[in-house]
Structures are given as structure tokens and as C-alpha cells.
Chains A and B, each alone.
Chain A
Amino acid sequence: MIKVTTKTKNILVPLISIIAGFLVGALIMLAWSYNPIEAYSSMFSSALGNMNGIGETIREATPLILIATGFAVATKAGFFNIGLPGQAQAGWLTSIWIVLAFSNWPSYLLLPFAIIAGALAGAIVAGIAGYLRAQFGANEVITTIMLNYIVLYVCQYLMQQVMPTALRINTDTTKTISANGSLKIGWLSAMFGNSRINGGIFLAIIGLVIYWYLMKKTTTGFEIKAVGLNSFASRYAGMSAKKNIIVSMLLSGAFAGLGGVVQGLGTYQNYFTQTSSVDIGWDGLSVSLLGGGTAWGILLAAILFSILKIGGLGMQTIAGIPYEIVSIVIAAIIFFIAINYVIGLLFKTKNNRSKYYIPTRKEKAPNNSVDGPSEKIIEGSTN
């Protein structure tokens, strides 16, 4: 056992999880006689070795940061928002549609309008689940899963039946948006070797700062966290659980919707029919879990995730190793982060107030309904 300070431990534990994740990937590659060193070196060199790669990595991270933030807001309020793909998709289609429909507007009006509308679309989709939970106690896991499908099919229908033919190429793809509604920034793309990097990254960073400020410095954020930690206590303290449920879901959906907006106005410049839930939704969820729901964590996790995703493409072409290994590594890293209790056992902290879960096996209170159902109070626990 190594004796370290809490701060070092908080850095070391996720670092070891990441290394362990890469090792799992290496073992699988070795088992199928691929060369892991060649794989990882081609991965990092194609993601970070040239400006285009770096630009693409940042571009990949952009929607993930926003969607992960959305997931984190809901999680803080004690909600499992599994409807991120639907909310992102709603934001994507809405923003593209608006830009195409009002393409003669000046950029300074059109862009904010499209962005806000996209965020609003995501917020509405999530808000439905929040409202149903607050008003009727309907389980948000079911409602958000169902809303994913509803959004998926409604978007298909809107594309094929409702959208004016002037706005689309065929029933599956819209026209490419005009420059005044695009998040593309000429000098930025040029700086990063003509990659698809776009102004969305500034939006994502602003989103992260807002999230940090909201959670740390405002009453709204405090109430959301309080309701998530113990809804009984917060109700006793005069907070409205219903209001906070709806507010947190609206915020969560708005962030997820923004993720869809930057994917549309930034990466693809159009919308095309999706046959299953959009992947950035699930990826954003993973990033949020990886980042532990903190602003810094989300930023770093999104970058790591994107290095793997973008580098994985290079690895497939250069080293001829199936791309799927990347997703296995990501899953393994999240697994090791999840079992950080075990990794934490390697280190002894000088004081016992770690961010990570270190049960001291000393119960302070009985696990009964007086303390709120299923709230096990354990010394050293931060949940």
C-alpha cells in the first residue's frame, strides 16, 4: 500500500483505470495476434500527430461535452436520463430545419435562433419525462426510453412527409445548410488542417462553465443537488421537489439538444434520417460516467474518448486492427472507474476524506425509512 495525499489519489485512481483499460485492450489484441504497440502508436499518431487529427478530435469531443453535461445535470438531481439520443436528435433536426427555412436571415440572427431552438427542442423532449415524473411519478427510465423511439420515428416522418421538398435532396437527407447558419469558422478549420472543427467547441466550453457555475454558485444548482441527495430532507427544508425535477430535466434536455445542434450545424451541415438512436447520445452518457459528472472530468473524458474514437479510425487503416477494439477499451476504462473502490485500496490516504468511495465498514445509522429509503449512511462515503 502506497501512502499518498487525497489530491494525488484523486488523480492516480482514474489514471490507473485508464491504463488498465488500455491493458485490457492490449490483452484482447494479443489474444487474436494483433500487435498492441503498433495499434496504440498508430492510434495516438493519427489522433494527435497532425493538426487535422487534433481538429477532428476536438470536433468529436464537442457534442460529447454538451451531452455529457446534460446527463450530469439530471444525475445530480437523482435522475437517470437515458433519453439523451432522442433529445440530441430533436435538437439536430430542429436547428437544421430552421437554418434551411430562414436561410436569407443574417448570420447574427439566424445562428442564435437556430441554436436556441435546438436547445429548446431537446428541453421539451426531456421536459415531458420530467413533467410526467413530477406530476404522476412515472418512472423516467421508461418514459425517456419510450421518448427515444417516439423522437426517432417522428423525425423520420417529419423528414419524409412534412419537410418541404425545397429543403431536402431526397426523403432521407436535407440540403446542406448555407454558410450564414453554419458553425464552421474558416480560420479555425484552416488552422487545424481543414478538419471539421467548428465554433461548437466554444459553445461546449461555455456550456461547461455555465454548468460549473450553476452547480457551485447558484441556488438552483444547490436545490437540484439537494433533491438528488435526499428528496425528503430537501422537501423538509422547503424546496419543491416537483419544480426541481422539471427544471433539472429541462436543463438536461437543453444541453443534450445543444449537442445535437453542434453535430448538425457544425459536423455534418445537414440532417439525414437515423435508423436507430443517435450514437452521440450513448457516447455522451459514457463520457459523463467517465468524467464522474464534474466539469473538468467531463472535459478530460470527452477528449480521451475522442482521441480513442478518431485514433481508432487511423488504427484500423494503418495497422489493420478492427475499430471495435476502441469501444472495448472505452468500456473497460469505465469499468475500472466504476470499481475504483478496489483500485483505491492500493493507496492509503493521509486523511480519510477522499472524493472516492472508501467504505470504512462503520454504519452510523440504520438503513430504514426514517433516513429516507435506501440511504445507507457510511462514514467516508460521499454519495
Chain B
Amino acid sequence: MNFVTILALIVSSTLVYSAPLILTSLGGVYSENSGIVNIGLEGIMTIGAFAAIVFNLTFASTFGSATPWLGALVGGVAGLIFSLLHAVATINFHADHVISGTVLNIMAPPLGVFLVKAIYDKGQTENITANFGYFSFPGLSSIPVIGPIFFKNTSAPAWIAIILAILMWWILYKTRFGLRLRSCGENSQAADTMGINVYGMRYAGVLISGFMGGLGGAVFAQAISGNFSVTTIVGQGFMALAAVIFGKWSPIGAMLSSLFFGFAQSLSIIGHQVPGISQIPSVYMQIAPYVITIIVLVLFLGKSVAPAADGVNYIKSK
């Protein structure tokens, strides 16, 4: 194996594992910047994965190769609807954000499995036939060296996620909507005084996180796991939550953290194919992503400060 092949292998599997994390963590960033803590990302991803797999199994013959993309959108919409629960509870009903988010996490897997049992009469679905697979960018993939590493046989959802991250950074920091959203997370009362609809902005934040989380779950299910069972999403949402905090509540930061987590996860999976790494006992490779995260957090990032009004219910004065 030459150097370029190894690098291409690492880059492409990093991208495959990062894509769901990037998408979900971007949603988390929006929710938290609007002032709603969303630890329910895991549950939202589960629902997204469930909806996408059911859609994919049902319509694979109708839509052909477009199925996973449509499935991802269906997953996103399902996540959005599911996140309404969190939005209503925290914004209108003054619920504790952590408790409400936990409800999403413990509600989603049994709901998904219950519906799978009700629809298919068994605990997990069949494997899907139309998955994301690998994608080569026409033109770009023929660039020497860079082409084979980054653009040949790579993950299309990951590149879309990266572009989305840049777009969502721009929206959050350079547009009026973004400023208003952030003002609700920093000081909701001041925002209200300035005539911003705090409830509306917070709904926007949570629903965006629902859509992105559903998208993330759908991408994970259709690119990595291939079916839906109770163990499809185990910990991905929590990793995305960690990426939100690790990325200091910024879309670009969350994307870079997700890429890092994806890289670390993929190393433990493809490690045995890479010379040099294959000699290291597997336990070190398995725990490396998590240990490195803690070390980086402690050494370089220091205290991470959430938006000031993150997790604080805003109750409008009459």
C-alpha cells in the first residue's frame, strides 16, 4: 500500500464517520445558540434513522439511486416533528431542558422499535439495498494526488455537511436572523425588549436542530449501519453533543470537532489496515478518540462558556 492509498483510505473513512456527526452537531449549535439546551440529539438521530430506513425499504424500487437522498430528507422531517416535543416542553411549558432532552433520548429507541415490530413483525429491519455508497466528484477526482485522496470514492453527504457548516456559520454570524437567534441565547429579555420574538427564535433553533439531527441519523443509518434496530444509534448523538461543546458552540468549531471525532473513530476501525498503527494493541486505538478529546479539552480549550441564557427558560412578562 503506498502513501496516497493509505491517506485516501483514512480520509474517506473519516468523512463517512464524520458526516452524521457534523450534521447533528450543527443542529445542536443552532438550538443552544437560541438558548435551548438540546441533549436529545441522540433521540432525534434515532427517529431520523428509523424514518429514513423505513422510507428506503419502502421506496427503493421507486426512486432508485435517489432513494438515500430522499430518505435523508424524510429523516430530517421526522426529526423535526419529534423535536417539536422538546420545543413545546421547554419554550411554552417551562420544562427543564435537560429532563425534556432526556425524554427524547429514552422515548426514541422504544418508539422506533415498537413501530418496526408493528410494521415488520420483528425487532429489526432488513438491510437496505439503496445506500449512499461512495461517490467520485467528476473532474475534481482526476486532480493528481489531491484528487484520489479527497474526491475519489468519497462520502458525498460529508462534503455536503461541510458546505452546510460554512453556510450555517455565515447565517449564524452574518445575517439578521443569526444575530437575533444568538441574542435570544445570550440575553432573552434584552432581545424581547428589542422586539424580537424570543419564542419564535427558540422554536426556530430547536426545529433546525430537529431537522439536522434527523438528517444526521438518516445519513448514519443509510451510509454506515444499513438497517434499523435498537442499537443503530448508540452514542452518536452524545458524540455530536460533545462536538457542539468542543467546538465552542460555533458551526465551524462543531464541524472541525466532528471531523476530529470521525477521524478518531475511523482510525480504530481501519487501523488494522494501516501499517505502523496495526501493531498497536486495539484497546489503545479504541479509547484513543475519547482520551485525546479529554486531553485536548483540558490542555487547549480551557473553560468552555455556553451562551449566557442557554438552558434558561424565558417567561414573557405580561
Residues of A within 8 A of B (CB): 28, 32, 80, 82, 132, 136-139, 141-143, 145-150, 153-154, 156-157, 161, 275-277, 282, 285-286, 289, 322, 324-328, 330-332, 334-335, 337-339, 341-342, 357, 359, 361, 363, 366-367, 373-374, 376, 378
Q: How many A-B residue pairs have CB under 8 A?
A: 158
* Contact yes or no, A153 B114, CB < 8 A: no
User: Of residues 273 to 318 in B, which have CB atoms within 8 Å of A's CB atoms?
Assistant: 281, 283, 286-287, 289-291, 293-294, 297-298, 301-304, 308-313, 315, 317-318
* Contact yes or no, A335 B85, CB < 8 A: yes
Q: Within the assembled complex, what's the spacing in Å between the Cα atoms of A357 and B98? A: 16
Minimum Cβ distance to chain B for residue A32 (Å): 5
Residues of A within 8 A of B183 (CB): none
Q: Within the assembled complex, what's the spacing in Å between the Cα atoms of A82 and B245? A: 15
Known: A139-B297, A324-B113. A359 touches B311 (CB 8 A): no
* Contact yes or no, A361 B317, CB < 8 A: yes
Count of interface residues, chain B, beta-carbon cutoff 8 Å:
58
B227 at the interface (CB under 8 A from A): no
* Contact yes or no, A322 B117, CB < 8 A: yes
* Contact yes or no, A359 B309, CB < 8 A: no
* Contact yes or no, A141 B103, CB < 8 A: no
Q: Within the assembled complex, what's the spacing in Å between the Cα atoms of A119 and B100? A: 30
* Contact yes or no, B293 A142, CB < 8 A: yes
Residues of B within 8 A of A334 (CB): 99, 102-103, 106
Q: Within the assembled complex, what's the spacing in Å between the Cα atoms of A266 and B264? A: 37
Q: List 18 A-B contacts (CB under 8 A).
A: A28-B114, A132-B298, A138-B298, A141-B39, A149-B290, A154-B287, A156-B286, A276-B235, A289-B99, A325-B110, A326-B110, A331-B103, A335-B85, A335-B89, A338-B100, A339-B89, A374-B311, A374-B312
Residues of B within 8 A of A153 (CB): 283, 286-287
B93 at the interface (CB under 8 A from A): yes
Among A82, A276, A335, A363, which residue has the most Cβ atoms of chain B within 10 A?
Answer: A335
Among B95, B105, B187, B303, which residue has the most Cβ atoms of chain A within 10 A?
Answer: B95
Minimum Cβ distance to chain A for residue B189 (Å): 6
Residues of B within 8 A of A338 (CB): 89, 93, 95-96, 99-100, 103
Residues of B within 8 A of A367 (CB): 187-189, 309, 312
Partner of B294, one of A138, A373, A378: A138
Q: Within the assembled complex, what's the spacing in Å between the Cα atoms of A338 and B99? A: 6
Known: A138-B294, A331-B106. A361 touches B283 (CB 8 A): no
* Contact yes or no, A324 B111, CB < 8 A: yes
Residues of B within 8 A of A (CB): 39, 85, 89, 93-96, 98-100, 102-103, 105-107, 109-111, 113-114, 117-118, 187-189, 231, 234-235, 238-239, 241-242, 245-246, 281, 283, 286-287, 289-291, 293-294, 297-298, 301-304, 308-313, 315, 317-318
* Contact yes or no, A328 B107, CB < 8 A: yes
Q: Within the assembled complex, what's the spacing in Å between the Cα atoms of A356 and B105? A: 24
Q: Within the assembled complex, what's the spacing in Å between the Cα atoms of A84 and B21? A: 23
**Top 8 A-B pairs ranked by shortest CB distance?**
A137-B303, A327-B110, A331-B107, A324-B110, A157-B283, A146-B290, A338-B95, A339-B93
Residues of A within 8 A of B294 (CB): 132, 138, 142-143, 146-147
Partner of B106, one of A32, A146, A150, A286: A286
Which single residue of chain A is at the shortest CB-CB distance from B238? A145
Residues of B within 8 A of A339 (CB): 89, 93-95, 100
Known: A331-B106, A376-B312. A139 touches B99 (CB 8 A): no
Q: Within the assembled complex, what's the spacing in Å between the Cα atoms of A357 and B315? A: 12
Q: Within the assembled complex, what's the spacing in Å between the Cα atoms of A175 and B238? A: 34
Given contacts A132-B294, A156-B283, A359-B315, 10 further A-B contacts (CB under 8 A): A32-B118, A132-B297, A132-B298, A139-B297, A153-B287, A327-B106, A327-B109, A341-B93, A367-B187, A376-B312
Minimum Cβ distance to chain B for residue A188 (Å): 31
Known: A138-B297, A338-B96. A332 touches B118 (CB 8 A): no
Which single residue of chain B is at the shortest CB-CB distance from A31? B118
Residues of A within 8 A of B297 (CB): 132, 136, 138-139, 142-143
Q: Within the assembled complex, what's the spacing in Å between the Cα atoms of A359 and B114? A: 37
Minimum Cβ distance to chain B for residue A138 (Å): 5
Known: A338-B95, A341-B94. A145 touches B110 (CB 8 A): no
Minimum Cβ distance to chain B for residue A49 (Å): 24
Which single residue of chain B is at the shortest CB-CB distance from A142? B242
Residues of A within 8 A of B245 (CB): 139, 141-142
Residues of A within 8 A of B111 (CB): 324, 328
Q: Within the assembled complex, what's the spacing in Å between the Cα atoms of A330 and B105? A: 12
Residues of A within 8 A of B309 (CB): 367, 374
Residues of A within 8 A of B100 (CB): 335, 338-339
Q: Within the assembled complex, what's the spacing in Å between the Cα atoms of A282 and B42? A: 13
Known: A142-B245, A339-B95. A150 touches B290 (CB 8 A): yes
Minimum Cβ distance to chain A for residue B210 (Å): 16
* Contact yes or no, A341 B95, CB < 8 A: yes
Residues of A within 8 A of B318 (CB): 361
Which single residue of chain B is at the shortest CB-CB distance from A322? B117
Q: Within the assembled complex, what's the spacing in Å between the Cα atoms of A145 and B109? A: 19
Residues of B within 8 A of A143 (CB): 294, 297
Residues of A within 8 A of B313 (CB): 376
